[in-house]
Structure 1
Amino acid sequence: MVRWIQGVCMVVLVLFSAASYADVTEIEATVDKNPVIANESFVLTVTFNDDVGNSAFQPQQLLSDFMVGRTSVSRQTSIMNGELNKLTRFTTVLIAEQPGTYTIPAIMMDGAKSKPITVEVLAAGSDTSARSDKIAFIESTVDSDSVFLQQPLTYIVRLYLAADLNKGNLVPPQMENADIRQIGSDEESSEMINGRRYKIYQRTFQITPNKSGTFKIKGARFDGEVYAEGQRSIFSSFSNTQPVSTLGETIELTVKPIPANWQGAWLPSELVTLSQTLSPETDTIEVGEPLTIRYQLTAVGVKPEQLPEISPAFPDSVRVYPDNDETDQYVRNGVTIAQKTVSFAVVPNQPGSLQLPSVSVPWFNTKRDQADVARTDPVTLTVEGVANQLAQQPKAEPQAPPKPEPEASPQSTEQPQAQPDVSALADQRLVTVLALLLFLSLLGNLAFFWRRRKQRPLKVQAKANTEQPLTSSQQWRNFQKACADNHARKADEFLRKWAQQRFDKRLVALGDLARWLAHGNQVDQELQQQLNDLQQSLFSASKPKWTGGKALYQSLRKALDNQPKPKQRNDLPELY
């Protein structure tokens, strides 16, 4: 029995060893459809009647007239009537970009070769291209085929699939001397075309040309696999799939240069706006009191890095402290919008009328093909108080000696004999002024030493006062009452005072509070929105009525509850 089993095994080994040295005697090449449509994929299948390596068929070198897509390899082994049969099958996706007649040459190996295949490629607009057996195709559109330099255009890709998608990749369009980026998220829908239902995948790109001239936008390309109809299995690894590729049409684009007479930063856009807000919003301000002015530049259809700098020409009577610039970009209805916000802290030095200058930003209106300007209105404020009193006092002192002449004139009419003593009177006035200055200097020194002696206890007392929970609780109760009354101005005031006492730093923008209370790196979006609504009701041009007091208080209360509880403070110093 054992010898019989050994004999059978020897026969099987002989058969397998004999088959391993078998040569390729037959090669078959077929296409899944003919004729085909330009920019539409078709499948070339090459079958060898033996087990060959993956490098036996290299379509990139043989098929230079086509765009070669994904190539997959499968192998099959069977024994029939004691004969071992092996097959190696190569499946390649091809795309013809231009209509015409093309030839797939014969594939040769070990003296065997396939028959050449003549492929007829029809134009995309022919009647045959409207047939309903297309599994996949792409439609590409642009919002304009003629733009100015650095003027972004919107490129929309719509991929139509008539079968369920297994996997795939959508390659973005290509263009020389241009920046290409995806904007927004993908959209999905379905549509019935020629009696066949297609699932549509839409993706939007923004193309910004960096050089003028005439260019071609090479269409987006899709490579993937779909499930064959009627062959889908509940086991994904055994599903019968077929490769598919498709290419969008090539679009010609004209990029116009910057006008010769243009001066300044180049900003092509459909719409540009520039707004300004003051905080606090007032017409009167004290000397030395800071005022925040914020400029917001918004442009449609541009990238944030294209927005120019905003540099107002403030007068010499103010001190200016610039804040950090903030840039943002978002998509609305498929259109990109870039925004830049610049803030300045302005501190007036002298009383009187203060005029904050108008700011203008030149831009090119692509809708009307002409230059335009976005500007703000100048702001006039009244500054009250006294400017630099200590600096003005020395200027009045040298004028003291000449002033006795008009005061002595009445005495000269009554006592003419006092005229010769004018010089003596002036010397006496000078001595009086010097004595007065010496007295004031002595008082100043005494005040300095007194303040220096009291400075340390005062600081300790001030620190003790800030640590008392009563002040913070009072501000919180005031803020709670303002929210209950929907009083935006008081809610903003008490919220800022409470935040400054709690976090020991000034709250410049209300939106910063959401970041201060963030749990880790996750900002509470609900609290951020409520703070933005309060700030908008105070500083926006429309000034909407604020009704979100209760929602703001609840959001802030929720954010505080999520904060880690601080350790209880002790009056005793820390032990080491």
Structure 2
Amino acid sequence: MPACARPVSEDKTMIRHSLSALALLTLTTLAPTAFADGLSARISSDSVAMGDSFQLTLSADPAELTAAPDISALNRDFDILGTSKSMQTRVINGARSETVAWIITLAPRTPGHLTIPSLNAGAASSDALTLDVADAANLPPVSNLPGASGITVDLKPGAYYVQQEMPLTVQITIAPGFRDGAIEAPQSPDFVLEQRGEDRVSRSEQNGGALTVIERDYLLRPQKSGTLTVAPFTLRGTADDISPISAPRRDPFASLFDGAGSPFARMLAPGRPVTLRSAPLTVEIKAKPNASADWFLPARDVSLSARWDPETPAFRVGEAVLRHVRITALGATGVQLPDLALPDAAGARVYLDRSDLGTINTPDGPAAVRDFSYSIVPTSGGTLTLPEVTVQWFDTASETSRVAILPAETLRVDGPVTPAPNAQTGAALPAPAITDTGHRRQHTIWLWVIGLTFVAMAGVIFLWRRSRRLQGSALQAAKRRASMVRIETACAAGDPAAAYGATVAWSQLAARCGELGLSARLAAFPDLRSRWQDLETRVFAGEASGAWDAAGFLKAIRATDRRFDGRSPLPRRAVLPPLYAPLASANLSHL
């Protein structure tokens, strides 16, 4: 072999090391770098968003180092998410050199202009670097994945109002090399954002490359009028990184592929953090129209329906029949649906048994429903007409106020007709005289026997029903006191929406205990009425000024609860002991 010739394997080794050196030189050129005494520092980007991460790389000649870098000074302004170490060997023109590198993944704790201080590795030290950290809402869309990766947010154009449901679709496009990740949805007190349904995954091709497309649906509900800004959606994850600086120190399989790259490199490489961020979304939210009703219900469609239980009941005087009434609102939420009070009907008594909220899926999208169960008890035979029921709502498509109507219904009731009261009462007819003394005595004895039997039976029934009533009353009172705990918890947290729902549930339980319902309490207590109106305005209109007086609202509720607490009619020796301790001593000093 000629003296100047070298083995082919040595040439391949030199080529591979030369390419590694070129890659390291390229990374060093593109990233902000600071050189000092024996230790160089560079960052992957000099501008990041709050919540994003970046990489700090410290490199040096291992022959000149006496210790590993001390990175404790980074804890002041950054969270250290991870560290890794790699060794790089270069052979250029027969000269061999080595470089050791520490890769530190950092996340800034505060926005602003931050400084990465000088770090020491034994006698070696690095220079300081600067970094700008901005709010993600003020930055353009970003993607540090290759190809056409990115996030887009789609909102259909139209007029939107306070508390209206706005459908959002988030589309995530990912190029090959992405390993895993999670999407972070924005949060703000100015809106409520809920995911609906499952993700839809598809595949597509662009410029000869395969792309993965993920679509996710959300419902956005603004809580106040004006300009609403939704911060970007962010996807944080890990992607392949088999560059020389981050690859393992030695790939034992590389020589098997003639320097073309090992398929095991992807498994052995630690990967690199990646971030995808959408553009912020800005939309104008309209206030509640002046012409609408006091209760504002924005929706695409609202309907009322009713059914009987059983489906074809027989109506008789004194016998209760169950009637179910449902409000269905397309494009609304359950808390927006109003209370439904059936108008009084001549010849019947109407009692509200329960009210339930829910959501159903329709061909036009999800719809909120509220079901009411009423007991209808006819008090007179003949014809009974139940009046129509109406609900005012605002059509967001045509931007007009509309009324949903449940038509009146006429029924036929079997039983005696209750006569109208007569102001003039005639003299009672005298009873016929009984002339047979023996027959009269026997008749009297039988009346006593029947009467005593009836009294005995009535006493047994009374004692049984009294026992059942005491148990039911104690259980209902316990449930009502538990509802009061939920009201106190919501007030302590300063959550008007939770306080509203808990108060409605508490008033329904109080009504079942024979106490005043919510409407009657509002009429009897002016202070509670004004505070309830303020709470409704905050929950459904979002236009109330100032902070919510949670302590005042709780005080007003407790005032009505002490006056109509439902506990005084119960005897001292109740069948069941109290299930909960009295709530008067609850500590709410932090309100």
| Shorter-chain TM-score range | 0.5 to 0.7
Residue 74 (structure 1) shift: 1.1
Q: Which residue of 2 aligns with 1:170?
A: 183
**2:464 matched to 1:447?**
no
Change (3 A) 1:431 1:202: same
Instruction: Tell me, yes or no, if the aligned pair for 1:175 and 1:215 is still in contact at 8 Å.
Output: no
Residue 199 (structure 1) shift: 1.2
1:359-381: per-residue Cα shift (whole Å, max 9, x none)? 11111000000001111111101
Normalised by the length of structure 2, the TM-score is 0.54
Q: Which residue of 2 aligns with 1:13?
A: none
Residue 89 (structure 1) shift: 1.7
Q: Which residue of 1 aligns with 2:69?
A: 52
Residue 331 (structure 1) shift: 4.7
Instruction: Tell me, yes or no, if the aligned pair for 1:93 and 1:245 is still in contact at 8 Å.
Output: no
Q: Which residue of 2 aligns with 1:383?
A: 413
Instruction: Tell me, yes or no, if the aligned pair for 1:93 and 1:243 is still in contact at 8 Å.
Output: no
Instruction: Tell me, yes or no, if the aligned pair for 1:307 and 1:340 is still in contact at 8 Å.
Output: yes
Change (3 A) 1:434 1:344: farther
Residue 289 (structure 1) shift: 2.5
Q: Which residues of structure 2 form unaligned runs of 5+?
A: 1-35, 133-138, 243-260, 462-591
One-letter amino acid matched to 1:449: L
Higher-Rg member (1/2): 1
Equivalent residues in 2 for 1:63-462 (5 A)? 72-76=82-86, 86-91=100-105, 108-109=118-119, 112-113=126-127, 133-134=146-147, 136-144=149-157, 146-228=159-241, 233=264, 238-282=268-312, 285-331=315-361, 335-386=365-416, 398-401=426-429, 429=430, 432=433, 445-451=448-454
- Report the Cα distance in structure 2 between the residues aligned to 1:331 and 1:449, rounded to whole angstroms: 61
Instruction: Tell me, yes or no, if the aligned pair for 1:190 and 1:197 is still in contact at 8 Å.
Output: yes
One-letter amino acid matched to 1:90: I
Aligned length: 385
- Report the Cα distance in structure 1 between the residues aligned to 2:331 and 2:84, rounded to whole angstroms: 49
One-letter amino acid matched to 1:48: S
- Report the Cα distance in structure 2 between the residues aligned to 1:232 and 1:395, rounded to whole angstroms: 104
- SS of 2:354's partner is coil
Residue 151 (structure 1) shift: 0.9
1:439-487: per-residue Cα shift (whole Å, max 9, x none)? 99986554333446789999xxxxxxxxxxxxxxxxxxxxxxxxxxxxx
Instruction: Tell me, yes or no, if the aligned pair for 1:186 and 1:201 is still in contact at 8 Å.
Output: yes
Instruction: Tell me, yes or no, if the aligned pair for 2:165 and 2:220 is still in contact at 8 Å.
Output: yes
One-letter amino acid matched to 1:292: L
1:262-297: per-residue Cα shift (whole Å, max 9, x none)? 223111011111101123344862212322111011
Change (3 A) 1:380 1:137: same
One-letter amino acid matched to 2:59: F
Residue 171 (structure 1) shift: 0.8
Residue 176 (structure 1) shift: 4.7
For the aligned residue pairs, the C-alpha RMSD in angstroms reads: 5.1
One-letter amino acid matched to 1:287: V
Determine what percentage of the aligned residue pairs are the same residue: 19
- Report the Cα distance in structure 2 between the residues aligned to 1:163 and 1:232, rounded to whole angstroms: 15
Q: Which residues of structure 1 form unaligned runs of 5+?
A: 1-22, 62-68, 98-102, 402-428, 459-576
- SS of 2:452's partner is helix
- Report the Cα distance in structure 2 between the residues aligned to 1:104 and 1:456, rounded to whole angstroms: 85
- Report the Cα distance in structure 2 between the residues aligned to 1:231 and 1:434, rounded to whole angstroms: 125
The higher relative CO (CA closer than 8 Å, separation ≥ 6) is in 2
- SS of 1:286's partner is coil
Change (3 A) 1:178 1:267: same
- Report the Cα distance in structure 1 between the residues aligned to 2:222 and 2:382, rounded to whole angstroms: 51
Normalised by the length of structure 1, the TM-score is 0.55
- Report the Cα distance in structure 1 between the residues aligned to 2:211 and 2:359, rounded to whole angstroms: 33
- SS of 1:315's partner is coil
Change (3 A) 1:384 1:331: closer
1:181-232: per-residue Cα shift (whole Å, max 9, x none)? 2222222222223332211222222221111111211111111112347777
- Report the Cα distance in structure 2 between the residues aligned to 1:358 and 1:134, rounded to whole angstroms: 62
Instruction: Tell me, yes or no, if the aligned pair for 1:232 and 1:239 is still in contact at 8 Å.
Output: no
One-letter amino acid matched to 1:148: Y
- Report the Cα distance in structure 2 between the residues aligned to 1:83 and 1:132, rounded to whole angstroms: 32
Residue 433 (structure 1) shift: 11
One-letter amino acid matched to 2:355: D
